Amino acid sequence: MRGPLHSFVHAAGVFALLVGGFTAAQAASALTRADGNFMKEAAQAGQVEVEASKIALQRARHTQVRAFAQQMVDDHGKVQQELVALAALKSLKLQDKPSVAARTGLKLLATADEAKFDERYAKSYGVRAHRDAVALFQKAANRAVDPEVRAFAAKTLPVLQQHLTQAEDMRQAVERDAKASLQSAAASAAAPKR
């Protein structure tokens, strides 16, 4: 016999399936915490790299540092746009400015001693920042659950690896030139005066 109770149970079952199906669809499109954290960390790192490189474009004396800084503004700016678009697709809100700690580091860079600026930028925002970025993107390229997040990380990783190689070359050039400059200054000071 089909009575009002049967109809109610049937309607409740259909409702549960619909709600359950909706929840499953939401869960399928939701990012894992790790994927979301990767995207947030990548956005922060990219913002800091662009801001530090803008400072380097204004303050750097070494031509290789200025060239590297311009490439970082261009390349990281493009990657940042892709990341923002992906985050929007995934309904993830990214910070629109660097963290307080990062802003403090940028202020220190902006006020660094002129003679040491190139070396500081090369070490901190060239080599160290790119080592960290390569590790972050390598992990996401291997472990991200969301296929689009994994693809973004895998696509960006070779660019970051190339940046790291360029940063190491830049750091060595800056250190070599600084050492040569010191030796030249020492030789001039030690030379007999006429």
Residues 6+ apart with CB under 8 A from 179: none
Tokens of 19: 């709600």
Pick the CATH number of 31-190 from 1.10.357.10, 2.40.10.10, 1.10.3720.10, 1.20.1260.10: 1.20.1260.10
Domain boundaries, the chain: 1-30, 31-190
Angstrom distance (rounded) from CA 155 to CA 161: 11
Give the Å distances, CA to CA, from 101 to 53, 78, 93, 97, 106: 17, 24, 20, 11, 9
The tens place of each residue's pLDDT in the chain, 194 residues long, gives: 455 544 444 444 444 444 444 343 344 457 999 999 999 999 999 999 999 999 999 999 999 999 999 999 999 999 999 999 999 999 999 998 999 999 999 999 999 998 899 999 999 999 999 999 999 999 999 999 999 999 999 999 999 999 999 999 999 999 998 777 665 555 555 556 65
Q: Please name which of 152, 151, 159 lies closest in space to residue 134, comparing C-alpha atoms.
A: 159
